[in-house]
């Protein structure tokens, strides 16, 4: 009888302790999940400081690239707007998604998608696409390269800026703009009268002609499609060469 009672009490105490252990384990698990899923209101100041420093480096680099190199020559506010926001958006997306174990393969895939993006409103010139590619590259590096020092990161951004400064400098490579013109004097398009053709174009256009290329000749309309290369009056880029219909003189 006594043995039966002691066995019953032992089983009850064991069951109670087991239940208390399970409840404690459940409470501990809930607290752990809550701490993992629900972020605190205030950030870790060390991580926040790193984020702000990298954001500042990215913003300054993008601003120098867009405002100092691109905009002074093109004066297009739409691309200024696009480049600035794309640089900021890519950095935010990559850096913040890096907190959830963003893999390099996915980041490079995202980089490639934005790198080959096509706008449906108009054909994006190759120069604008190059600047867009540079902006995406800078933002991706600033967002992904979290294992290098700030000094190394600044040096990498300076390399981009120096490369753009060298490429944009006309001292190294001189830009020769061009225009497509529908020319109406077929007598001067012959190869042996090139100098007379250049002189006539210089007189009528007021430009210093460097070279002339004669394209399609239409005898019915008494006109020819002529592409001229001339000395630039200012810092300009020959986007007119993308237009197939010339302007009649």
> For the chain, what is the radius of gyration of the CA atoms?
34
Run of H or E including 74: helix 71-74
Q: Which residue in the block uniquely carries the two structure tokens 């794309």? A: 86
Which residue do the tokens 């020959």 mark? Answer: 238
Contact between 182 and 223 (Cβ < 8 Å): yes
Structure letter (DSSP) for residue 174: -
- Residues 6 or more apart from 132 whose CB is under 8 A from it? 82, 83, 86, 114, 115, 117, 124
Closest to 127 (Cα-Cα) out of 170, 174, 164: 164
> pLDDT of 201-244, one tens digit each?
888 888 888 889 888 888 888 889 999 888 877 655 545 544 44
C-alpha to C-alpha distances, 129 to 38, 76, 87, 221, nearest whole angstrom: 41, 14, 13, 38
Beta strand segments in the chain, E:
178-183, 209-218, 223-230, 247-248
What is the pTM for the complete model shown? 0.62
At 64 the pLDDT is 93
If you average pLDDT over every residue of the chain, what do you get?
A: 75
CA angle 96, 101, 106 (to 5 degrees): 85
Instruction: Give the model confidence (pLDDT) of 103-160 as tens digits.
Output: 556 656 665 665 555 554 557 778 888 898 899 889 888 888 878 888 999 999 999 9
Q: What is the domain partition of the chain in residue ranges?
A: 45-168, 178-248
pLDDT of residue 249: 45
State the average pLDDT over residues 180-206. 88
Q: Residues with Cβ < 8 Å from 170, sequence gap 6 or more?
A: 235
């Amino acid at each position: 009888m006594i043995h039966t009672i002691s066995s019953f009490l032992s089983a009850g105490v064991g069951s109670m302790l087991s239940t208390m252990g399970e409840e404690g384990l459940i409470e501990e698990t809930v607290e752990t999940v809550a701490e993992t899923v629900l972020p605190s209101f205030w950030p870790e100041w060390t991580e926040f400081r790193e984020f702000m420093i990298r954001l500042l480096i990215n913003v300054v680099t993008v601003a120098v690239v867009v405002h100092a190199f691109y905009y002074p020559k093109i004066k297009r506010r739409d691309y200024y707007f696009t480049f600035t926001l794309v640089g900021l958006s890519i950095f935010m997306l990559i850096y913040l998604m890096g907190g959830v174990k963003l893999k390099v393969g996915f980041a490079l895939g995202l980089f490639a998608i934005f790198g080959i993006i096509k706008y449906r409103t108009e054909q994006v010139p190759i120069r604008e696409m190059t600047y867009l590619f540079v902006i995406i590259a800078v933002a991706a590096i600033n967002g992904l390269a979290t294992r290098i020092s700030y000094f190394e990161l600044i040096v990498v951004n300076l390399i981009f800026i120096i490369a753009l400064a060298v490429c944009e400098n006309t001292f190294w490579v001189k830009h020769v703009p061009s225009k497509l013109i529908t020319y109406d004097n077929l007598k001067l398009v012959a190869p042996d009268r090139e100098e007379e053709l250049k002189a006539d174009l210089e007189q009528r256009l007021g430009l210093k002609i460097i070279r002339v290329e004669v394209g399609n000749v239409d005898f019915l309309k008494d006109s020819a499609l002529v592409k001229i290369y001339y000395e630039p009056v200012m810092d300009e880029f020959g986007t007119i060469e993308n237009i197939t219909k010339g302007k009649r003189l």
